[in-house]
Structure 1
Amino acid sequence: MSDRFELVLTCPKGLEGLLLDEAGELELEDAREQTSAVRGFASMETAFRLCLWSRLANRVLLVLKRFPVKDAESLYEGVLEVDWFEHLESDGSLAVEFSGNGSGIDNTHFGALKVKDAIVDKLRLRDGTRPSVDKISPDLRVHLRLDRGEAVLSLDLSGHSLHQRGYRLQQGAAPLKENLAAAVLIRAGWPRIAAEGGALADPMCGVGTFLVEAAMIAADIAPNLNREKWGFSRWLGHIPVLWNKVHDEAVARAAAGLAKPPLWIRGYEADPRLIQPARNNIDRAGLSDWVKVYQGEVATFEPRPDQNQKGLIISNPPYGERLGDEASLLYLYQNLGERLRQACMGWEAAVFTGAPDLGKRMGIRSHKQYSFWNGALPCKLLLIKVQPEQFVTGERRSPEQREREREQNEVAAAPAPVSKAAPSPAQAPVELARLSEGGQMFANRLQKNLKQLGKWARKEGIECYRLYDADMPEYALAVDLYRDWVHVQEYAAPRSIDPEKASARLFDALAAIPQALNIDKSKVVVKRRERQTGTKQYQRQSTQGQFMEVTEGGVKLLVNLTDYLDTGLFLDHRPLRMRIQREAAGKRFLNLFCYTATATVHAAKGGARTTTSVDLSKTYLDWARRNLSLNGFSDKNRLEQGDVMAWLAEDRGEYELIFIDPPTFSNSKRMEGIFDIQRDHAAMLDLAMARLAPGGVLYFSNNFRKFQLDDNLAERYAVEEISASTLDPDFARNSKIHRAWRITARG
């Protein structure tokens, strides 16, 4: 074989330029970029060195042959011409990877099969001995790339991908591949900073990938030094003497690097479940003396290296996996920006993000941006010099001024005292800093609404109410106050609205909310509300399980702001619940589609003789049971799990007061058929009216905007629409939030 080989180094999309520089430093000659690869020429010693030292490549492929391919037969013949006896024993094992298409070969499985057949046929002995296929741990891994009629046939010297260093056996929810993490560090200038003795901190370190990769760069450790099996390990062309030379050099360099005083490299992670996995990964990499991980929130992050040392802050904030998550992350990015400005002056920072719009919300400008791909997700690396001139305000401040600003921010962020009869947001206007023109406009509207509705809420003893409901069409949000918490629902923008503009407006509004209402960012919960149909209607959004006790009309109720789309308390039905409380004395009360049975609690408070609550969801019935128990109502309060229509058809009880607030649509697996409020309401009301005692009252409500009450119902019953009287001031501007009727038997 030749002493000079053609090599192809593959890499993730976007890393080609960095890999070209790295490969040149490792003595790859005549190197040039290709799509997701670098091609060049080198000796076998350099090929081994590339396998061991490349921090960016996925694979090192040794090209055996390039040849034209017209059809499947010419592919077979081209592979057959290689002297495979130089590479693999006849009783060895192989795996074939095939990529590309063309020349009548449009199926990669078929292409791989033709390559395998040619190799096996070449090596088959007269006694029938032939290589076997082993996709997991073969003696030889063969790769063929077919591109525009040319086949590039190669041996994979790497084995499994070079990004798999071996130290990261435990991962977080969204792991960053090791070679991508190394690329981000290199782009961020960490090799230069490390050479100068600088520090590194990651305020959202996850399982520590950035930390380990940074320490290996600083300590001059070959990224694959601890790999035991390579693609060339059982290759017949392997030259152990050369490999041992390259490996021994790397071992000596690592020993020398680790003997140096370790740099200050620290990680902080809010999720306590990730702390030990991160430490385990660091231990496996042999870097526990260099890297330390602690539990800590971004909002309190502050690097404290010795001797006023500066360095690099590196972070890969979450991108958001579900609808609405990206909006909820705004405050995380704002907190990161605040900590950079307040605690990291003079440092460099690198923020790797799949949500660049959020990156713009940190309040500090990047001086450079680089594009990357994290799998199929386009990402940006924002490089920042943490200096006053980079702050969005552009204001130069002395350390004394910055300290005063920090103290003012802490005061502004503190929640206002909560009284039992008043919402917690401050009534006095607060300074609205660093808001866009739109954000300022939104904040002004919130403060105007708060001034008007807050007075009414305090007078009525209401602590949960709607403050804003898409009052300005371009800011399509509902903002509800739950004591000292804010629950924000984003209405999905129409298709006619530019998604980028809708996203920017949402971020403007979310930036304004904590300041306008003087509420801590950690107490703002954001969700996206879309038309909920079928199984999506009550899907769980989260699993935090945090319940908060609120009061309404003399009863205590549990709400959950995080785990479901709705909170357990329909604020618009407050007047109906209070009406039920006033009318319930001595009556048998029936609550159909009871949800968390808040109306039942009010009926019991009003002196109902008995209550019966029916819902299909065990989760909400358990919640209902807790609401009743919280108020000391356990006897004479029956909870029934079942399909309401089927339950009504079987029930033989009589009730003087009935409340029905059904969903618009339901197709739960636990019910027969599909419930559609427009189609089924007349039949449902007939069944319910059959259970209404003489002189009794049925209240029927629903929030389907296009709902039309069946005209024939008025011929059978006395029907009165009471929608206008069931809206409190906080919903007066949205008269279509629900419609309600009072139905009684005809006299």
Structure 2
Amino acid sequence: MSDDQHSLYLPCPRGLEQALREEIAEIEGCGAQPQAEHAAGLSLRGSLRDVMLLNLHTRIASRVLLRVAQGPVAHADDIYRLALRQPWAQWFDADATLRVDVTAERSPMQSLHFALLRAKDGVCDHFRLRDGRRPSVARENPQVRVHLHLDASSATLYLDTSGEALFKRGWRAAHGEAPLKENLAAGLLRLAGWTPQAALYDPFCGAGTIVIEAAQRACRIAPGLQRGFGFERLSGFDPAVWRELRAQAQAARREAPAPIVAADIDPRMVALTRDNARRAGVEQALQVRQGDALEGPTPLELAPEQSGWVLCNPPYAERIEAKGAQAEDLLPRLGDRLKQRFVGWNAALLLADLRAERSLGLKASRRHVLFNGPIECRLFTFALVAGRPPRKV
């Protein structure tokens, strides 16, 4: 397998760009070098071996895209010509099934769908002129994915080396009514400052995404061990190297060094968290219990003689389960609970209420802007120190 360096782009949830850069620096054996941070992504230079390592180990990136070409674009035919002249046969042949996707930022193109079609025609006609055959288009389960990105004056063509989005780890069979994506949950843990040496408690665990992501990180379970990737269907990638990287990841597993506890008031969510944890290989690393977050376990019960983190995504008005007076009353009661029973711990709460500090009665030490799907949120981080007594109810 060649050690040639390639231009890569790793999209991620907006607000997690620096967290992604820090994560990549910690991937053992990965020589990919960050080039620049972008809104919702990071560009790098790396080898095909780095591409495999990134797909296997990144918890925050959404995909690993390998840049094939970039060129100026004034109209849709420029996209066709750019795609037509690329050496696609270096990566796949005319028997492969193909899907082309498009994204745009300030592009003057009137129809993104037409731009996508011109890119697809360019790829297919490249093979028709070369081999007399052309790839078949497949919207579902394609063997090869090409990604077209348009900006104000240029087009970039990428090979998607991931296939399915990387947040699809392979362990989730079902989810709650308003789930976090796995890579956003992984980003919350890193932004908050939690490390596997500290205890973790999520009192609103839902389907268990946050605690499962934490447990896999604590147990050094690579997030890509249970799934396949697009690069496995591309030429140029060495299967022997891939087997070696997977074996190294398997050998790195360990027991979690600190307690990780999940709770939810809904018994269905408790059962779902346990089921997801089993499929994710972290059932033994989690303590999962049913209970009200405002009457749940104390820090002493969670981690005797140890401090830790309360990290969660509490219900808020946009979420299905939070309605009426219950939503209005939750944050003040939660703030009192944290101040009364978790002194000496830290807390990180993902909330859509941008004025949540007042409702909680807590002053955040840090605030990060994030998006849970289309909902703008803040990750508020608090140091829970002794202060005024909780308000009387």
Q: Does structure 2 retain, via aligned residues, the 8 Å contact 1:70–1:103?
A: no
Paired residue for 1:17? Answer: 18
1:472-509 C-alpha deviation (Å, 9 max, x unpaired): xxxxxxxxxxxxxxxxxxxxxxxxxxxxxxxxxxxxxx
- Aligned AA for 1:172? G
1:11-68 C-alpha deviation (Å, 9 max, x unpaired): 1111112112223444321421012110110111111111111111001000011111
Query: How far apart, in 1, do the equivalents of 2:310 and 2:4 lie?
Result: 44
Query: How far apart, in 1, do the equivalents of 2:223 and 2:191 lie?
Result: 17
Question: C-alpha displacement at 1:356, in angstroms?
Answer: 3.0
Paired residue for 2:236? Answer: 237
Query: How far apart, in 2, do the equivalents of 1:147 and 1:321 lie?
Result: 32
**C-alpha distance 89-220 of structure 1, shift in aligned 2 (>3 A):** same
Question: C-alpha displacement at 1:123, in angstroms?
Answer: 1.2
Question: C-alpha displacement at 1:166, in angstroms?
Answer: 1.5
Q: Does structure 2 retain, via aligned residues, the 8 Å contact 1:302–1:339?
A: no
Paired residue for 1:208? Answer: 208
Query: How far apart, in 2, do the equivalents of 1:249 and 1:21 lie?
Result: 21
Paired residue for 2:45? Answer: 41
1:334-362 C-alpha deviation (Å, 9 max, x unpaired): 22222212221211111111113344222
Paired residue for 1:695? Answer: none
SS at match of 1:66: strand
- Taking the TM superposition and a 5 Å limit, the aligned residue runs for 1:683-722 are none
Paired residue for 1:250? Answer: 249
Paired residue for 1:96? Answer: 100
Query: How far apart, in 1, do the equivalents of 2:204 and 2:107 lie?
Result: 49
Q: Does 1:275 align with 2:274?
A: no
**C-alpha distance 326-40 of structure 1, shift in aligned 2 (>3 A):** farther
With normalisation by structure 2, the TM-score equals: 0.92
SS at match of 1:186: helix
Q: Does structure 2 retain, via aligned residues, the 8 Å contact 1:69–1:151?
A: yes
- Taking the TM superposition and a 5 Å limit, the aligned residue runs for 1:372-391 are 372-388=370-386, 391=387
Q: Kindly name which structure, 1 or 2, has the bigger radius of gyration based on alpha carbons.
A: 1
Q: Does structure 1 retain, via aligned residues, the 8 Å contact 2:107–2:151?
A: no
Identity of matched residues, %: 36
Question: C-alpha displacement at 1:245, in angstroms?
Answer: 2.3
Query: How far apart, in 1, do the equivalents of 2:205 and 2:340 lie?
Result: 20
- Aligned residue among 76, 80, 84 for 1:76: 80
Query: How far apart, in 2, do the equivalents of 1:126 and 1:66 lie?
Result: 22
**C-alpha distance 34-358 of structure 1, shift in aligned 2 (>3 A):** closer
- Aligned residue among 59, 84, 89 for 1:85: 89
- Aligned AA for 1:75? I
1:185-223 C-alpha deviation (Å, 9 max, x unpaired): 1111112xx23xx21111111111111011111111111
Q: Which runs of 5+ in 1 are unaligned?
A: 396-404, 406-432, 435-514, 516-747
Question: C-alpha displacement at 1:124, in angstroms?
Answer: 2.2
SS at match of 1:387: coil
With normalisation by structure 1, the TM-score equals: 0.49
Query: How far apart, in 1, do the equivalents of 2:147 and 2:207 lie?
Result: 33
1:101-132 C-alpha deviation (Å, 9 max, x unpaired): 77763212111111111111111278853210
**C-alpha distance 56-102 of structure 1, shift in aligned 2 (>3 A):** closer
Q: Does structure 1 retain, via aligned residues, the 8 Å contact 2:199–2:303?
A: no
Q: Does 1:55 align with 2:59?
A: yes
- Taking the TM superposition and a 5 Å limit, the aligned residue runs for 1:556-595 are none
Paired residue for 1:399? Answer: none
Paired residue for 1:319? Answer: 316
Query: How far apart, in 2, do the equivalents of 1:204 and 1:57 lie?
Result: 25
Paired residue for 2:327? Answer: 329
Paired residue for 1:224? Answer: 224
Query: How far apart, in 1, do the equivalents of 2:319 and 2:242 lie?
Result: 48
Question: C-alpha displacement at 1:233, in angstroms?
Answer: 1.5
- Taking the TM superposition and a 5 Å limit, the aligned residue runs for 1:276-315 are 276-303=271-298, 304-315=301-312
Q: Does structure 2 retain, via aligned residues, the 8 Å contact 1:262–1:290?
A: no
1:507-533 C-alpha deviation (Å, 9 max, x unpaired): xxxxxxxx5xxxxxxxxxxxxxxxxxx
- Aligned AA for 2:187? A
**C-alpha distance 322-68 of structure 1, shift in aligned 2 (>3 A):** closer
Question: C-alpha displacement at 1:306, in angstroms?
Answer: 4.5
Question: C-alpha displacement at 1:146, in angstroms?
Answer: 1.3
**C-alpha distance 203-30 of structure 1, shift in aligned 2 (>3 A):** closer
Q: Does structure 1 retain, via aligned residues, the 8 Å contact 2:62–2:167?
A: yes
Q: Does structure 2 retain, via aligned residues, the 8 Å contact 1:72–1:104?
A: no
Compute the RMSD of aligned alpha carbons: 2.2
SS at match of 1:20: helix
SS at match of 1:293: strand
Task: State the structure with bigger RCO (CA 8 A, min sep 6), 1 or 2.
Answer: 2
**C-alpha distance 119-320 of structure 1, shift in aligned 2 (>3 A):** same
**C-alpha distance 302-86 of structure 1, shift in aligned 2 (>3 A):** same
Q: Does structure 2 retain, via aligned residues, the 8 Å contact 1:302–1:343?
A: no
- Aligned residue among 349, 352, 359 for 2:350: 352
Query: How far apart, in 1, do the equivalents of 2:16 and 2:269 lie?
Result: 28
**C-alpha distance 187-117 of structure 1, shift in aligned 2 (>3 A):** same
Query: How far apart, in 2, do the equivalents of 1:222 and 1:5 lie?
Result: 23
Paired residue for 1:340? Answer: 338
- Aligned AA for 1:283? R
Question: C-alpha displacement at 1:165, in angstroms?
Answer: 1.0
Q: Does structure 1 retain, via aligned residues, the 8 Å contact 2:14–2:39?
A: yes
**C-alpha distance 322-212 of structure 1, shift in aligned 2 (>3 A):** closer
- Aligned AA for 2:348? A
Question: C-alpha displacement at 1:364, in angstroms?
Answer: 2.6
- Taking the TM superposition and a 5 Å limit, the aligned residue runs for 1:661-740 are none
- Aligned AA for 2:19? L
Q: Does structure 2 retain, via aligned residues, the 8 Å contact 1:346–1:385?
A: yes
SS at match of 1:49: helix
- Aligned AA for 2:224? N
Query: How far apart, in 2, do the equivalents of 1:40 and 1:87 lie?
Result: 20
Query: How far apart, in 2, do the equivalents of 1:269 and 1:246 lie?
Result: 37
Question: C-alpha displacement at 1:322, in angstroms?
Answer: 8.1
Paired residue for 1:185? Answer: 189
Question: C-alpha displacement at 1:3, in angstroms?
Answer: 0.7
Query: How far apart, in 2, do the equivalents of 1:63 and 1:264 lie?
Result: 42
- Aligned AA for 2:91? H
Query: How far apart, in 2, do the equivalents of 1:360 and 1:38 lie?
Result: 35
Aligned length: 386
SS at match of 1:352: strand
Q: Does structure 2 retain, via aligned residues, the 8 Å contact 1:101–1:108?
A: no
Query: How far apart, in 1, do the equivalents of 2:272 and 2:116 lie?
Result: 38
Q: Does structure 2 retain, via aligned residues, the 8 Å contact 1:52–1:222?
A: yes
Query: How far apart, in 2, do the equivalents of 1:24 and 1:141 lie?
Result: 27
SS at match of 1:124: helix
Q: Does structure 1 retain, via aligned residues, the 8 Å contact 2:369–2:378?
A: yes
1:644-667 C-alpha deviation (Å, 9 max, x unpaired): xxxxxxxxxxxxxxxxxxxxxxxx
Query: How far apart, in 1, do the equivalents of 2:106 and 2:41 lie?
Result: 20
Query: How far apart, in 2, do the equivalents of 1:2 and 1:28 lie?
Result: 11
1:301-358 C-alpha deviation (Å, 9 max, x unpaired): 1231353322111121111138993653132212222221222121111111111334
- Aligned residue among 140, 154, 157 for 1:153: 157
